[in-house]
Structure 1
Amino acid sequence: MSRTETRRVTQRQIAQLAGVSQATVSLVLNGRTGEGVRIPEETRERVQRVIEETNYVADPSARRLAGVDNRILGVFTYEPAFPTRSLDFYTPLLNGIEAGAEKLGSDLLLFTSTPVTNGRRRLFHERNRLRLADGVLLLGVEMDPSELARLVEEQFRVVAVGRRDTPAIPYVGIDYTAATAELVRRAIAMGHSRIFYLRIDSEGESVRDRFDGVRKGVVGTSAVLADRISDGGSLEADWAAVTNFEPTLLIAESPDVAEALHERAIEDGYSVPGDLSIITLASSPRLSPGDVNFTRLNPPRTELGERSVNLLARLLSDEDYPSESELRTLMPCPIVDGATLSAPTQEARA
């Protein structure tokens, strides 16, 4: 069944296919049980089977009008949230989401049963449970634009955490472009003229925004920029590319890559930041007193999570629904001065 066909499926059609009344379908969808509500288990299973076969997804606003408001906020992550390599990204976000939900008196429901296709989780599938939540928060570096568009078409109450290109999808994001451009301009004003950028291989909007910021920071100057994709798995190859280019400034998108190359530079006798300045476009929440104090962007991810919850709550509100300009907003990204950016030495300039 195509997406258009799925969108047109109604409760009345479900009732016809299951051979029951529309009222029975509504009761099954809303999970109504108790005194005065007697639906044979066989009937309930038959209705549920038709719902799954047709990929029917209930309109959250209709459920709210019917009095179904469980004060449950769903959380869907396009990438697994708990592997070690994901903790730096997701932990502060989830902390903020939890704090926001607690203030609202709402519970969180983490959707984990979604199937994985080509290494990515699918939001819509035959056992879709999005209707269990009153609204859903979407997390992930990359999100499926077609799924986001479908959410908009079917008027789901959702908020994407992070800026999205998909028209009309509500989001709260971080203005990485402006902050990155500002940091690069600061470095160039100090005298840096050769810049090497190790970036992440991703088409996620936040990744592209940081790359745009690097390029905007260089535009209109005499600085020369080179870039290379790195996931941190080929340290020697990354370091060889850096030294071959001979930059005075190394930009590492990942804090882990910045830390590894900082150690490698020291091993080779480089002075940081005198011979080679290093900045990173993210900040690890696991910093300890002994860690390198990188000059860096410090994305306010905990605040991002909490503000995303607040926007979702307003989407669910009948009294405080956000204005058009409030549906898609960007938060400023602070810059930490750190200790790894300075004017290059005369030897480095040469």
Structure 2
Amino acid sequence: MVVKGRRATQADVARLAGVSQTTVSMVLNGTGVAQRRVSAEVRDKVLDAIAVTGYAANPSAQRLAGGRSSIVGIYTYEPVFPHAAADFYYPFMEGVEDEAERSGVDLLMFTSMSGRVGKSLVSTGRVARLRVADGCVLLGRGSYPEDLTELLRQDFPFAFVGRREAPGGQAPYAAAAYGEATGAVVERLLALGHRRIALVNEFTGHESIEDRARGYRDAMSSAGLQPVTFDAPDLTSGQLLDALEGGGVTAAVVTSDLAAPLRRAALARGLDVPRDLSIARLGDPERPDGEDVDWTGFLIPRWEMGAHALRIVLRQLAAEPADPDDLQVSIPCTLVDGATVAPCPAPDTRPEPNRKA
């Protein structure tokens, strides 16, 4: 039965197929678990009804004809084009793009959404907008747990670039193995004879910072040593260097954007890096520091994280249910020997610092 004189509706499809409009909507728009709730027999009835009524001319039905549109979105919580941090974000985006080309899917950039102005998708009612695509890769530091919780509730395929926690569910992600990499850096310093090793944090409350802190604490505890942590220190006042020297600290593992400022402050005080103070950088800085320093520490697998995030989205779109263990991936970081750490100095070889500097 072809509907004459007007465009066919979901109600027409439902009547012809002998199912509810909810079932038609689930077949058309559902993904993952939601779509698998519909049996193959019912799905075929809905598809036949779509063909008979002409509803296939609707974009949603065209999406259904192949099971999906083969379009995956990218949503960034911070602007990446153009931006001072573009060099940091570029490898993530390149990884997503390369994997999309390999997998035969197209990418859709969501550029008019709310995260860029400090609001969640949920608070502005924009979550549904992501459903223009089959699934979405999410990227950015300033994310919101309520967005992830809502996407999980809707059974919408997504993956975050970086580990994220969502209240009441397990958010899919492709993360860097920051804890393991930080532990390896601390172990190298221990092998060089350092025993007073401090962690200098950018800020607290972010999963990537928590992972680094966990790796540091575990490595120190395993060596029978007391962890010493400085959170968001003021590097311009000299108080951090006073505390490091006063506590006999000979090495610091530093989250990425604080490493260069700490090194500059130490040099200004008359300390030699690494002879007097070893500094290891825990990842790539988001903001280029403009200095040619061969840093010891590790590099973030940014390209791999972007590529894996898209793979995780595609696993959720596959006909077979994805193994939950395959939806949360931690990727090893690349350890770098560098030249900013050295063997622990003997106590009487450390020079008197220039406290006027």
Partner SS state of residue 283, structure 1:
coil
- The aligned counterpart of 1:326 is 326
Structure 2 residue aligned with 1:260: 261
The one of 7, 14, 30 equivalent to 1:59 is: 30
Q: How far apart, CA to CA, are the structure 1 residues paired with 2:263 and 2:195?
A: 20
The 10-residue stretch of structure 1 (282-291 or 184-193) with the greater mean CA deviation from structure 2: 282-291
1:206-255, Cα deviation, whole Å (9 max, x unpaired): 11101111111211435444322338xx5313x4312332121122202x
Partners of 1:222 and 1:168 in 2: CA distance: 34
What secondary structure, in the 3-state scheme, does the structure 1 residue paired with 2:190 have?
helix
TM-score normalized with structure 2 length: 0.72
Which among 167, 188, 210 is matched to residue 212 of structure 2?
Answer: 210
Deviant stretches of 4+, over 6 Å: 285-290
Give me the whole-angstrom Cα distance separating, in 1, the residues matched to 2:95 and 2:272: 38
Match of 1:162? 162
How far off is 1:305 after superposition? Answer: 0.6
Q: Shift in Å at residue 133 of structure 1?
A: 0.6
Q: Supply the distance in 1 between the matched residues of 2:116 and 2:230 (Cα, whole angstroms).
A: 28
Q: Using a 3 Å threshold, how does the CA distance of structure 1 residues 202 and 83 change in structure 2: closer, same or farther?
A: farther
Alignment of 1:161-200 (within 5 A): 161-166=161-166, 167-200=169-202
In structure 1, C-alpha distance between the alignment counterparts of 2:80 and 2:289, rounded to whole Å? 23
Unaligned runs of 5+ in 2: 1-7, 15-27, 36-59, 351-357
Conservation of the 8 A alpha-carbon contact between 2:85 and 2:287:
no
Partner of 1:42: none
Amino acid at match of 1:73: V
Please name the residue that 1:22 is paired with: 10
- Shift in alpha-carbon separation, 1:83–1:224, aligned structure 2, 3 A: farther
- Write out per-residue CA displacement over residues 158-197 of structure 1, whole angstroms, 9 at most, x where no aligned residue: 1122223333322221211111112112212322122232
Q: Is the 8 A contact 1:60 1:156 kept in 2?
A: yes
Q: Which moved more, 1:221-230 or 1:172-181?
A: 221-230
**Within the alignment, does 1:240 sit opposite 2:239 as a pair?**
yes
Q: Does structure 1 conserve the Cα–Cα contact (< 8 Å) formed by 2:84 and 2:287? A: no
Distance 1:139 1:307 in 2: 13
Aligned length: 296
Aligned position for 2:71:
72
**Identity between Structure 1 and Structure 2 (%):** 34
* CA drift at 1:258: 1.3
| 1:1-350 alignment runs, 5 A limit | 21-23=9-11, 58-60=29-31, 65=64, 67=66, 69-82=68-81, 84-116=83-115, 119-122=118-121, 125-127=124-126, 128-166=128-166, 167-221=169-223, 223-230=225-232, 234-237=234-237, 239-246=238-245, 247-254=249-256, 256-284=257-285, 291-318=292-319, 322-347=322-347
- The one-character-per-residue Cα deviations of 1:302-334 (angstroms, maximum 9, x if unpaired) are 011112112222222226x53232122211122
Contact residue 72 and residue 106 of structure 1 kept, 8 A: yes
> Which has the higher mean CA deviation after the structures are superposed, 295-304 or 309-318?
309-318
Asked if the contact 2:186–2:219 (Cα under 8 Å) also holds between the matched residues in 1, the reply is yes
CA distance in 2, matches of 1:303, 1:118: 28
CA distance in 2, matches of 1:203, 1:289: 28
Question: Structure 1 pair 340/318, CA: closer, same or farther in 2 (3 Å)?
Answer: same
**C-alpha displacement at 1:24, in angstroms?**
7.7
Code of the aligned partner of 2:171? I
1:242–1:222 Cα change, 3 Å: farther
Hey, what's the Cα distance between the residues in 2 that align with 1:274 and 1:312? Answer: 47
- The alpha-carbon distance between structure 1 residues 24 and 266, as it changes in their structure 2 partners (threshold 3 A), is farther
Which residue identity is paired with 2:133? A
Give the gaps of 5 or more residues in structure 1.
Answer: 1-19, 27-56
Amino acid at match of 2:144: D
Residue type at the aligned position of 2:266: A
C-alpha separation in 1, matches of 2:121 and 2:270: 48
Is the contact between residue 77 and residue 115 of structure 2 (CA under 8 Å) also seen in structure 1? no
1:147 deviates by 2.1
Opposite residue 135 of structure 2, the aligned amino acid is G
